[in-house]
């Protein structure tokens, strides 16, 4: 229905579909209509008062059968929908398209980089947000018809890796994850923390780190052997964590395999005169005009840095995949890095650099403050899942006595993952968040378990009614709550597009909560089974549950028919 209004406004204003879609509003008061369009944007174009424009357009636009009336209210045009026409059109569309309702066919090849861990420590809760965002964006883009792949970059070389190596070499004494009875990446991370503890007592350890890196780059046999052993421990642990999130990557790149190739690009650009060289031998680009200052691209000793690797990696991925868009899912701490990376690629003559996008997000905090992995003050992704799952299991044990332990464990994990995913996705990705497991697991309010419970309740009613959509139904005058539910499930395709344009899953997450809340209010205020218009209510309920399922699917949350 929103598409009809957009098309009417498109013909009357000459604005684009996207411009209208971004401006159209839902009035706070139903007396002001179902949709409202502000005319301020047209004021400067038409050189008229927005109130005059609104009145003129309201008189000009022809009313169709789907719209009861159009009127102006100050600088707004208000649209009042025909609720019965809306209900009939929406339900038919949902019943026909089912899991494809709200989808589209946009052809585009997209790469998403996630999560990009370092092999000196396990994935932390910040990586959890990274993975959850990447998976949701992938589902959203695929829902709209795009070919999407997730690619990973493992940062497995550098001073930070050498710190855990030095600590293990000095204090490990032949210990292994098996002997310590510890997950292998957590085992490696303990030595990263150990390094900083010991460096406070012995500052000379920092000198050994640089010597370790020099030996690694020169191919020292013993250094490489230790690196491979610890690297494998870290990678083995990462795989287990990826599996918990059901994260499947299409290709993994390793910094250790590509860092040299980045150097060649810098030297080539120096020959072209694009970049300069300092007296100490460091190569740099002067990006002062772009507001980014000077950027070192190779150190004076010839060693490379992150930007060196990222330049080559972007070029390599373009060659391998010929993508239409490459999305980097990286925290907003790296905003400057990616602005610099994209600017350098354009400076070096790569016209496709405008197809690169930094999907930034806020940091994740403990209730006690900011995460600091070097101090061990961190919540690992594994711990986050385990803590949340155990809390869910406690609730399941209270509620369900007849389930087997295996069923309880499975259901607890599903509820825990829905709680974690939804908690992270309902918040604007640009905002920092503090994850609180107990809050995320509540069966009331804006949470994943609340949405799962709502879906299960809807399907339970349908099952009890032995519902089939083959029975005929009549759309009579509907109470306000039914009208609201119809109106909101009709908006799902536009919600999907809005979320896509902003690459913001929180739009879908909060929409899911909104329709769930309306359904629950309707459920408590109006009888469904045995009511005068039971079949219509059941069809509406079936349509609602399908839309809720579609929305949750875009958040990578699987529904449960029975809680």
DSSP characters over 402-454: SS-HHHHHHHHHHHHHHHHHHHHHSS-TTS-EE--HHHHT-SSSSSHHHHHHH
pLDDT of residue 368: 55
What DSSP string describes 72-85?
EETTEEEEEE-HHH
Q: Residues 63-98: pLDDT tens digits?
A: 888 898 999 999 999 999 999 999 999 999 999 999
User: Which residue carries 């958040």 as its tokens?
Assistant: 555
Please answer whether residues 142 and 148 qualify as being in contact, where contact means their C-beta atoms are separated by less than 8 angstroms: yes
pLDDT of residue 367: 67
Phi and psi at residue 260, to the nearest 5°: -70, -35
pLDDT of residue 95: 95
The whole-number average pLDDT for the span 516-538 is: 89
Q: 372 falls in which pLDDT band (50, 70, 90)?
A: very low
Q: Residues 264-322: pLDDT tens digits?
A: 899 999 999 999 999 999 999 999 999 999 999 998 887 778 899 999 999 999 999 99
Least Cα distance to 334 among 358, 298, 312 occurs for 358
Please answer whether residues 285 and 344 qualify as being in contact, where contact means their C-beta atoms are separated by less than 8 angstroms: yes
Q: Kindly tell me if the per-residue pLDDT of 370 is higher than 60.
A: no
**What span, in angstroms and rounded, lies between the C-alpha atoms of 505 and 167?**
41
Both tokens of 426, joined, read 């309902």
Q: 139 falls in which pLDDT band (50, 70, 90)?
A: very high
**What span, in angstroms and rounded, lies between the C-alpha atoms of 136 and 552?**
10
Strands (E), 275-372: 276-277, 283-287, 293-298, 325-329, 356-359, 364-366, 369-370
Tell me the whole-structure pTM to 2 decimals: 0.92
Q: Kindly tell me if the per-residue pLDDT of 376 is higher than 70.
A: no
């Amino acid at each position: 229905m929103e598409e009809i209004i957009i098309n009417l406004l498109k013909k009357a204003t000459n604005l684009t579909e996207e411009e209208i879609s971004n401006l159209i509003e839902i009035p706070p008061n139903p007396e002001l209509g179902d949709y409202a369009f502000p005319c301020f944007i047209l004021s400067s174009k038409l050189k008229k008062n927005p109130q005059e424009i609104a009145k003129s357009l309201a008189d000009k636009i022809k009313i169709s059968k789907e719209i009861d009336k159009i009127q102006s209210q100050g600088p707004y045009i208000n649209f009042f929908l025909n609720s019965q026409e809306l209900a009939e059109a929406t339900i038919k569309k949902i019943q026909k398209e089912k899991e494809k309702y709200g989808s589209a066919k946009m052809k585009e090849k997209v790469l998403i980089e996630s999560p990009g861990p370092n092999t000196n420590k396990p994935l932390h809760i910040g990586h959890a947000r990274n993975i959850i965002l990447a998976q949701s964006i992938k589902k959203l883009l695929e829902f709209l018809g795009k070919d999407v792949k997730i690619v990973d970059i493992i940062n497995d070389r550098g001073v930070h890796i050498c710190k855990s190596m030095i600590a293990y070499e000095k204090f490990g004494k032949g210990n292994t994850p098996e002997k310590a009875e510890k997950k292998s990446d957590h085992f490696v991370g303990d030595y990263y923390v150990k390094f900083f503890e010991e460096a406070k007592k012995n500052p000379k350890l920092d000198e050994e780190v640089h010597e370790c890196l020099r030996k690694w780059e020169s191919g020292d046999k013993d250094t490489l052997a230790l690196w491979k052993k610890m690297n494998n421990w870290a990678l083995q642990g990462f795989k287990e964590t990826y599996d918990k999130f059901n994260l499947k990557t299409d290709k993994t790149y390793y910094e250790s395999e590509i860092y040299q190739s980045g150097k060649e690009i810098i030297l080539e650009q120096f020959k072209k005169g694009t970049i300069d060289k300092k007296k100490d031998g460091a190569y740099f680009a002067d990006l002062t005009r772009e507001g980014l200052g000077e950027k070192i691209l190779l150190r004076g000793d010839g060693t490379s840095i992150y930007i060196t690797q990222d330049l080559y990696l972007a070029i390599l991925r373009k060659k391998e995949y010929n993508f239409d868009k490459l999305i980097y899912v990286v925290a907003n701490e790296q905003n400057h890095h990616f602005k610099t990376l994209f600017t350098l690629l354009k400076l070096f003559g790569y016209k496709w650099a405008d197809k690169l996008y930094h999907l930034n997000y806020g940091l994740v905090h403990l209730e006690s403050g900011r995460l600091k992995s070097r101090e061990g003050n961190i919540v690992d992704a594994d711990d986050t899942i385990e803590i949340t799952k155990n809390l869910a299991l406690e609730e399941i044990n209270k509620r369900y006595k007849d389930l087997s332990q295996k069923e309880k464990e499975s259901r607890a994990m599903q509820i825990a993952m829905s709680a974690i995913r939804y908690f992270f996705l309902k918040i604007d990705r640009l905002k920092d968040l503090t994850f609180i497991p107990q809050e995320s697991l509540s069966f009331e309010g804006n949470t994943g378990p609340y949405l799962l419970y709502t879906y299960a309740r809807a399907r339970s009613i349908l099952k009890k009614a032995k519902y089939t959509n083959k029975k005929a139904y009549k759309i009579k005058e509907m109470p306000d709550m039914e009208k609201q539910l119809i109106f909101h499930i009709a908006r799902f395709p536009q919600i999907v597009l809005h979320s896509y344009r902003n690459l913001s899953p929180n739009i879908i997450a909060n929409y899911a909560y909104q329709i769930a809340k309306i359904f629950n209010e309707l459920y408590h205020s109006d009888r469904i089974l045995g009511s005068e218009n039971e079949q219509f209510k059941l069809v509406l309920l079936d349509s609602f549950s399908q839309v809720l399922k579609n929305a949750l699917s875009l958040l990578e949350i699987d529904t449960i028919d029975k809680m």
